[in-house]
């Protein structure tokens, strides 16, 4: 069974909800999933050992949170070259963080990123049935593509 780390930063619990819905989709695709807030991952050793990585963060002032930026430096040290990945984020109006995370994973970490691109939802949509289903479908599609 393929192992997946879904790591997220969340300010209002919306990105956390996305992480959990994405994990449900990954489990439907027969993946073993660990869902962790980035604050629970102390160093690159806490990142290593997975087959796939899905990172998420809300957009805050048209940027990623400071915590996510620090987490990505840890992730870079974990040498994720060639690992499969995805990115997601919630936002109120602009939505820059998910594409930034996706691009970092693709171009800096040299990961094999999902051709779905990043999943980017407004906070309003995240708490709807439509948002839940979109997250579950994203997780399931990632799980089916790499497993």
State the alpha helices, DSSP H only, in the chain. Answer: 14-28, 66-77, 97-103, 123-126, 129-146
pLDDT score at 147: 61
- Which residues on neighbouring strands pair with residue 61, listed in sequence order? none
Nearest Cα to 86, choosing from 29, 124, 130? Answer: 29
For the chain, list residues with pLDDT below 50.
none
This model's pTM is above 0.75: yes
Integer angstrom CA distances of residue 5 from 38, 92, 124, 127: 11, 25, 25, 23
117: helix, strand or coil: coil
Structure tokens at 8: 């997220």
């Amino acid at each position: 069974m393929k192992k997946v780390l879904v790591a997220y930063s969340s300010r209002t619990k919306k990105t956390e909800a996305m992480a959990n819905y994405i994990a449900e989709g990954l489990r439907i695709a027969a993946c073993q999933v660990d869902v962790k807030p980035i604050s629970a991952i102390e160093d690159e050793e806490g990142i290593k050992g997975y087959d796939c990585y899905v990172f998420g963060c809300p957009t805050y002032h048209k940027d990623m949170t400071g915590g996510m930026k620090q987490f990505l430096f840890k992730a870079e040290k974990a040498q994720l070259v060639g690992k499969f990945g995805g990115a997601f984020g919630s936002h109120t109006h602009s939505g820059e963080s998910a594409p930034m995370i996706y691009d970092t994973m693709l171009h800096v970490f040299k990961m094999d990123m999902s051709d779905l691109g990043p999943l980017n939802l407004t906070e309003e949509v995240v708490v709807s049935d439509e948002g839940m289903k979109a997250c579950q479908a994203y997780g399931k599609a990632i799980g089916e593509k790499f497993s």
